[in-house]
Structures are given as C-alpha cells and as structure tokens.
Structure 1
Amino acid sequence: MLAKGPHVIQLMEELAPKHYAVPDDKIGLQLGTLSKEIKNVLIALDVNDEVADEAIRIGANLIIAHHAIIFRPLSHLQTDTVAGRLYEKLIKHDIAVYIAHTNLDVAVGGVNDMMADAIGLRGLAPLERLHTDKLKKIVVFVPEEHLEPVRQALFKAGAGSIGAYSHCSFHTAGVGSFLPEAGSAPFIGTQGKLEHVNEVRLETIVPQSLEKKAIQAMLKVHPYEEVAYDVYTLDLPGRSLGLGRVGKLPEPMALDALCELVKAAYNVPAVRLVGDKQRLVQKIAVLGGSGGRYVKHALFAGADVLITGDIDYHTAQDAEAAGLCLIDPGHNVEKILKHGVAEYLRGKLQEKKSATGVFESEVNTEPFQFV
C-alpha cells in the first residue's frame, strides 16, 4: 500500500520538526499538493531542471529537498523564465516539493550530525544553541501483565533517555479501582460493578518534541478503553539543539591529514585551507552550508578547526589571526543529507509496510568545477 502525502511528511517532521527552523526560513510544502498517494520520493539537495527530470524518470511525485525553490515572494509566474519553466514542469507532472532546511540542520540526526559522524567526531554539542527540548514526565497506570508492552512502546517512541542512558523508567505496584458505567466496554470487569485491579504505576521521561508520539504509542498498546495517565512538565534542562556541531576526534591528527579525511568523507575533490598543515588538531567544529559568521562561535567553543563552506577572504584572515584553522569543502557538502534522509525515510516506511519508494538524487548540483 502506498503512503499518503501527509503521512510521509509526518515521518519527515519527526526527524526535523518545523519549529526547529530559524525565523523566516522558507520550509515546508512549497509547490504542489500532498493530498495524494506517494509513489516514490526523491531526496535532493537542490531542485533544478535535471532533478525534476530525474523525478519524472523514476516516477517520483514528491521531492524532499534542502534548499528552497521559492526563496523570495513571486511577483509573477512566467513560464518563459528559468524558474517559471521549472515550476511548470513540476506542476504538469504532479510533483510536490517539500523543503527541510534549517530545521534539518538543527535536528538530531540531521545534516550537521551527519557531517560530524562522517569524520568520526565524538561528544557532540551544538555550535550555536537555539532551542532546549523541554523534558516531560509521563506517568501511566497499567495492569501488571501489560507492563512490558506499554513500557517498550514508550521506549520505541523515544521516551526514557537520560544523557547517555536509554530505556530509563521506574514502576511501583498498587491497586487501581474503577466502576464501569452504562455505555462502557471494559477490558476488565463488568458494568455496574466496582472493580479492584493489581496495577503498576509506570513513569518515564520524554522530550517535549516526542511527547505526542510517545503518548500515541502508549495508547495504542494499552489494553484499557480509558487510559489513566498524567503528563508533567519538569523543571530540568533538556537537550540543547542548534546549528552546527562541535566535538572531538578520537585522537589528534595533523591538519593536512584531516583535510584528506574531509575530502573522502564528504566526497569532494579539494578543500580550501587556512592554517599550518602540520598542526595537530582534535577539537573540531562543523557547520553545513555557509558558516563564515560562526568563526567566533568556534573560537568560543575552543575548537581547533572550523569546517564549513563559503568562507570569504576577510573572515579567513580574521580566523588565521585568532589561531583558528579553517577547512572550506564548499556549500555543496550538504549533499550528505541525501543518503542519510533517504535511509531514515526508507526505514520508517518499511516499518509501516508501505510500498512507497525512496530514492537519493544522483544529480550533481555543485556549480563549481575544480581545474
């Protein structure tokens, strides 16, 4: 069975919630409709004429891309312009375009985590903190024999993580009482008779971003017609989320060796370098896209190197004077998201037994050539 458009986007927004995006970022559905079954999804960095042709060729009626195709308000839609011809082609072939940009940069498991993981960074933290994912406590009362299915459903939905520990919960035994009224269909007991049942109070914590998902998962496996549960907001710091990542290599390495690692990990033929090639470095900051304005953030974080794209001349001079090395592999390294997002979405759809296919764009949208 094919997945519906809203369901595919729901899965995408579980990875990259829209509220993670920076203000005024152009994200979400930009063209077409999601009110349809999705045959195939194409994951792309950019959407241009070649990518649109690729989508047509593979039968994709949804493109999920990183960079917006409508960035400024349109004053007209003329189909004899480059942009107009692209929009016309997409509309004629019923191809919707959905954008996940800075929300995917910020997301756990998003672009910046993919970049950091690709070069083996550990102990990651955001380079610029934008959000704190507040913690909630879920308390639910469960019949003893149904404790494990409910607990595992909560864990699978993302509950129960505290720092580097997962599957965290606490439960205590007790006795629940209830009287099924007229019109009820009790799992235990009969209408009009007061019941006493051996129950367990199960409690765990969940980030606010996963609260709805966790509650839905719990309700789905809970045996009761009416589930007794509570949700509390905790006065505790949750996970910090933001742009970029800073972490450490397993061992120090020479800067020129790091350049070779970056070229291999990000599949780029060359990088621009600021710094002594023989300098040993270990604490590394990465930021996908254009990150010149994050030099100060990298310095404040104590990074030896900032890896990002679109570094300008004067920013490079300032970083060099401050003792920060720079590796510029280009803006296009964000293409790493194509494989990561496709793997994520493909796995989620397979879990749902969906026949919707997910493909990585094979079009190279890098405008620069190295000669």
Structure 2
Amino acid sequence: MKIKDILSVLEQMAPLAYAEDFDNVGLLTGNASDEATGVLVCHDALETVINEAITKNCNLIVCFHPILFSGLKKITGKNYVERSIIKAIKNDIAIYAVHTALDNHKNGVNKIFCDVLGLTNTKILIPKENYIRKLVTYTIPENLEKLRNALFDAGAGNIGNYENCSFNSQGLGTYQGNENSNPEIGIPGEFVEAKEIKIEVTFEKHLEAKILKALFNNHVYEEVAYEIYSLNNTHQNIGLGMTGELEEPMDETAFLNFVKEKMDANGIRHSAFTGKKIKKVAVLGGSGSFAIKSAIAAGADAFLTADLKYHQFYEAEGKLLLADIGHFESERYTKNYIVDYLTKKIPNFAFILSEENTNPVKYL
C-alpha cells in the first residue's frame, strides 16, 4: 500500500477543504508515492514522536496539530519545529496533519468531546459560512434521470439528514446553432423551441470540480448551459464547536468534577458559579475564546474549551459557566478516533497509537 492510498482515506475522514483558511493541513513532509511501512498516529509530531516512528518502522505520521504551522525561512535545527522536520526528512518519514479539517467535521474533534461526556442532541455551535453552492442546469426530459443521478453520485443534493435533494421545473428552452454546431435537437441554423427541465441542486464547494465533471460527462447537449451560485446559508453539519445535553442536570461543582474525570484533566479553571444547574453544554476543543458569545447565544449552561485569558472569564457575565480544561485535554481522544477510523477502513494494515505524551503543560 502506498502512502497516498492512506491519505485518500484520511481525506474521507476529514476533507482538507473543511479546514480553516489560517491552517496548514495535509501532507507536510514526505513523498505520497512511497510504499507505506506503518502509520503512527499522534497529537503532535515532535522529535520524540519521530524517534518512536523510526523505532516502530512507521514511515507515515498522522498528527492532529501541524508541526509546520507557519512558513520556515531557515531549517537549521535551532528549535523544536526545525529539529522535527530535519529528522523526518532524513529518515524518509511523511507527516500528515488533520487539525481544523477534523475540528469542523460533524463527527470530528467536538463530537468526540461530546461523546466522551455522554452528550445527546448534538449540534454544530458555529456553522461554517460561505461553503454551500448551488448548481442550476437545463436538459431535455429524456436526459433528466441520468444527469440528475450522476450529480447525486458526485455529492450534490445532500441537505442535513437528507440526500438526493433537488428542485426540478419544466419550461421552454430556445437556441439556434451556427454552421459549426451539432445540436441534440434540430439542425444547424434552425431556431429550436424545446421542452426542458431546470435542475437545481446544492453542494459543498470542495466538490465543484467533481460536480462539473459529472455534469459535462452525462449531459446530452454539445454546449451545456449551467450556473453556479455561492449561497449565504450556513452549513449545519460543518463548523466549529458543538452543543449537546446531559442526560440529567448536574450542579456546577459535580459537573466540573465529572468533566475532570472524563477528560482526564489535571485541573480546570472556571468562571464564577451561576447557581444554575447544568443541562445544555457547549464544547470547543482547543483554543475557543472566540466562541464564548456563540455559546451564550446557543443557550448553553456551560462552555468547555481551552486557552482562556484572564479577562475572557469576565465574558461569562453570569450567563453560563465558562471552563478551561486545557488544550491537550480537550482534544486528547482525537488520536484514538483516527486510529479506530483507519483500522476500520483498512483492517489489514498496521496503525499504531503513539505512546508519547506531547502535552507541553505540566501540573504540580
């Protein structure tokens, strides 16, 4: 099996197009055409993890955080990032990062977070904007079923829990081809009026090339008339953070102790108690201070995230319990999910969970 075969499965799990614009996801080092000897899955691709990969004969490391986040102008080994990259390249080890591509997935980081806490009725906290597009095209009735099914197969027409969604309306199309034309109906130079079906389907923007290929390959017209629009609708199944509900309401102290145990947190910093029971919970793995207002707007009784600064605790404003459980802790089960996913998809290959604890924060 080649590395690129495994990367293809990883992109099914977390499409790179889901990642935030600031992020650096995908293949960071290595040659995707190399044969894969083994895969080590970790949280951070540090030098110690690369040593582990060497020892365990893994030439692909799948990490959550990208070790290369911003550009490097020099690679001299003067810091932990440069040393990791040098060692990976010297030992022909490919590094692939998923980060916000998995953060934004409906079954990704925040769903894992919710599942560990046993939350139900989960929903995306901050749905992704500017990600839905709409295709409008026209064809003759005889071509409708074939063309529409091809668009569905390419990924168009998925809305929430529904698939194969489209709107179809009948009208009258006109055209007149020149001497070089080869019309499906009529002859060159003839003015033609024909019954046509207008097909409208929505799709995720990263599927556009695939959708257009299906359109052109399955349409009967020599010249395909179509339009693509960017919609202002948010995507209810892609986005950052998540809300969910506890089975039974808990008082605030009991809830924080419950979270500490479930997330194996060494300590939790939190805002002042509100005196209310906790039922609806918002979560956002990693740095989530930007989502405090969203958690309040969603009606959450508590918001669990990480990397909160002093003044950001004031933003709770007595409306919810704000808790910082630690960056690593909030994402700690992500690597387990990746290993489980890959093992199910490729059961006859070695996927190894890293034994290295890469949490840089220590507690007394």
Structure 2 length-normalised TM: 0.72
- Pair 1:3–1:356, CA change in 2 (3 A): farther
Aligned to 1:182: none
What is the alpha-carbon distance in structure 2 between the residues aligned to residue 57 and residue 150 of structure 1? 52
1:102 corresponds to which of 90, 100, 103? 100
What is the alpha-carbon distance in structure 2 between the residues aligned to residue 208 and residue 44 of structure 1? 30
Alpha-carbon shift at residue 236 of structure 1 (Å) = 6.7
What is the alpha-carbon distance in structure 2 between the residues aligned to residue 250 and residue 229 of structure 1? 52
Contact 1:136 1:211 in 2 (8 A): no
Aligned to 2:183: none
Aligned to 1:16: 16
Task: Give the root-mean-square deviation of aligned CA atoms.
Answer: 4.8
State yes or no: 1:322 paired with 2:315: no
- Pair 1:210–1:118, CA change in 2 (3 A): farther
What is the alpha-carbon distance in structure 2 between the residues aligned to residue 303 and residue 163 of structure 1? 22
State yes or no: 1:111 paired with 2:109: yes
State yes or no: 1:29 paired with 2:27: yes
Aligned to 1:125: 124
Alpha-carbon shift at residue 105 of structure 1 (Å) = 2.1
Could you tell which deviates more after superposition, 90-99 or 233-242? 233-242
- Pair 1:91–1:12, CA change in 2 (3 A): farther
Contact 1:273 1:325 in 2 (8 A): no
1:283 corresponds to which of 277, 280, 293? 280
- Pair 1:89–1:272, CA change in 2 (3 A): same
What is the alpha-carbon distance in structure 2 between the residues aligned to residue 323 and residue 163 of structure 1? 30
Alpha-carbon shift at residue 95 of structure 1 (Å) = 0.7
Contact 1:21 1:101 in 2 (8 A): no
In structure 1, the residue corresponding to 2:114 is in which secondary structure? helix
Alpha-carbon shift at residue 307 of structure 1 (Å) = 0.2
Aligned to 2:42: 44
In structure 1, the residue corresponding to 2:67 is in which secondary structure? coil
Alpha-carbon shift at residue 167 of structure 1 (Å) = 4.1
What is the alpha-carbon distance in structure 2 between the residues aligned to residue 263 and residue 338 of structure 1? 19
2:358 corresponds to which of 347, 354, 365? 365
State yes or no: 1:334 paired with 2:331: yes
Unaligned runs of 5+ in 2: 171-196
In structure 1, the residue corresponding to 2:332 is in which secondary structure? helix
Alpha-carbon shift at residue 308 of structure 1 (Å) = 0.7
1:60 corresponds to which of 58, 61, 64? 58
Contact 2:39 2:61 in 1 (8 A): yes
What is the alpha-carbon distance in structure 2 between the residues aligned to residue 65 and residue 75 of structure 1? 23
Contact 2:9 2:342 in 1 (8 A): no
Corresponding pairs, count = 355
Amino acid at match of 1:106: N
Alpha-carbon shift at residue 155 of structure 1 (Å) = 5.2
Alignment of 1:139-150 (within 5 A): none
Unaligned runs of 5+ in 1: 174-199
Amino acid at match of 1:338: K
Contact 2:66 2:97 in 1 (8 A): yes
Amino acid at match of 1:336: Y
Aligned to 1:252: 249
Contact 1:256 1:278 in 2 (8 A): no
Alpha-carbon shift at residue 56 of structure 1 (Å) = 2.0
Contact 2:130 2:232 in 1 (8 A): no
Could you tell which deviates more after superposition, 131-140 or 321-330? 131-140
What is the alpha-carbon distance in structure 2 between the residues aligned to residue 265 and residue 138 of structure 1? 48
State yes or no: 1:206 paired with 2:203: yes
Alpha-carbon shift at residue 138 of structure 1 (Å) = 6.8
Structure 1 length-normalised TM: 0.71
In structure 2, the residue corresponding to 1:298 is in which secondary structure? helix
Aligned to 1:239: 235
